Structure 1
Amino acid sequence: EEDEEEGFQERIALQLEEQEEEDIEKIKEESRKRRQAILEKYKQRQPQQD
């Protein structure tokens, strides 16, 4: 019975870890998009120079 309880807690811990990783990926993606948008705006403001 104790083994089952332990396994259950382990599964929950693993799920939480996976969720955190997903959140980190989402945050990375968001900041990447934001940076991209800022770059685009900046490019549009700058006159094109070669």
Structure 2
Amino acid sequence: MTEGLLLARDCIICWVTVWLAPVEPIFDMIESELVRRGVALEGAEPPSPPAA
């Protein structure tokens, strides 16, 4: 039973990671746009320029 629980845990972690992966870049784009428009965000660092 322990092996089954570990497998289920790994599947859940993988599923959540895959499900949330697109959210982070979208959040970063929204945050960058707000900073570009001059909105002061608490605890936010200015966006770094893209790597050349």
Greater relative CO (CA pairs within 8 A, separation 6+): 2
User: TM (normalized to structure 1)?
Assistant: 0.48
Tell which structure's C-alpha radius of gyration is larger.
1
TM-score for both structures, normalised by structure 2: 0.47
